[in-house]
Amino acid sequence: MLRDRMEARAAGPDPTATAWRRVAERFARWRAPGSEAFYEALAKHFAHLSGHPVLPLRLERQAFLLDYGPAFRIALARRA
């Protein structure tokens, strides 16, 4: 079973890696200079919602927190 999963991963790209990149590209307009690590961590965190309709609301809330919560942004970037 484990061997099957390992071979499947070797055969193609990791779906979560492409999901977070799609999220990052979709919301690149909110990225401010100096906050690249924050948005990368945010895109990775919300990658599982890449096709969900709630994603824009969640990311917009986090972008708002970017202006008002620098400590939160730093903590999230360290966690990723």
Give residue 80's Cα distance to chain centre: 10
Give residue 58's Cα distance to chain centre: 11
How much of the chain exceeds pLDDT 70, in percent? 71
Q: Of the candidates 27, 15, 18, which has an alpha carbon nearest to the alpha carbon of residue 59?
A: 27
Quickly state the pLDDT bin for 37 (edges 50, 70, 90).
confident
Mean pLDDT value of segment 42-47: 87
Distance CA 46, CA 24 (A): 10
Q: Report the mean per-residue pLDDT for the chain.
A: 77
Mean pLDDT value of segment 55-62: 84
